[in-house]
Amino acid sequence: MTPIPVLLQDEHLLAVHKPAGVPFHGTPGEEGLVGLVRRRTGLETLYAVHRLDRITSGVLLLARTREAARELGRAFRERRVSKWYLAVSDRKPQKKQGTVSGDMARSRRGAWKLLRTRTDPAVTRFTSVSLAPGLRLFCLKPETGRTHQVRVALKALGSPVLGDPLYWSPRPGSTEPDRAYLHAYGIAFDLFGTPCRIFSPPAEGRLFTCAAFLNALSGIRCPYSVIRDG
């Protein structure tokens, strides 16, 4: 049974560490994350306030009351929630740090693409460091909340997430990675006047648990935040 660690639990919130490969929504024959959490914690009343893609591991919030769900939903809509992601790519980016901005549109096979227009742009700030020869670690802070935003931003930089089934393709003769290397590292917000900051480092994947990754993470300066948690 895949563990789903509880990171925080109080009268308003439940924060868990979502494993990679677990779908957020259930499908016929496969239970979704919320159902799994309900069953394993015994908490029947849980409200989804945001989601993570199947490939993404990391910090996920669930509200325990309607009032908390409404307040968190408002905070997400008003962009008062900060999120940080970690990603590994085996492709050199067009630039090592900065901002990716552009409108997003549907592409093929359920994918999205970044456009040159900026009518209602998705904005992602990022920085990166070398992880190992041919590998780069990214820390990204999306300023907007669009479907696949972080994955599309990295694709637009020329550095798709290693192992991403939609936006990355293996080089000829290369070894298939053991997971898609995207992780929701942290989230910060205020709820009913109380600041909340939750970080959880990756726990799965050879590259996310090796000494080189830990060394790179200890020195990386994430956009608008120096990460020292975990």
Residue 47: phi, psi to the nearest 5? -120, 130
- Nearest C-alpha neighbor of 199 from the set 25, 53, 61: 61
Query: Can you list the alpha helix ranges (DSSP code H) found in 60-101?
Result: 66-77
Q: Report CA-CA distances (Å) from 222 to 8, 98, 134, 185, 230.
A: 23, 11, 21, 11, 14
- Nearest C-alpha neighbor of 184 from the set 197, 163, 172, 200: 200
Of the residues 10, 53, 90, 120, which is catalytic? 53
- The answer to whether 135 and 89 have CB atoms below 8 angstroms apart is yes
Write the burial class of residue 123 (CB in 10 Å: 0-12 exposed, 13-18 middle, 19+ buried): middle
Residues whose CB falls within 8 Å of the CB of residue 113, separated by 6 or more in sequence, listed in order:
104, 105, 106, 107, 152, 155
- Nearest C-alpha neighbor of 16 from the set 62, 47, 73, 49: 62
CB atoms within 10 A of CB 127: 16
Map tokens 């910090």 to a residue: 59
10 catalytic residue (yes or no): no
Write out the catalytic residue numbers.
53
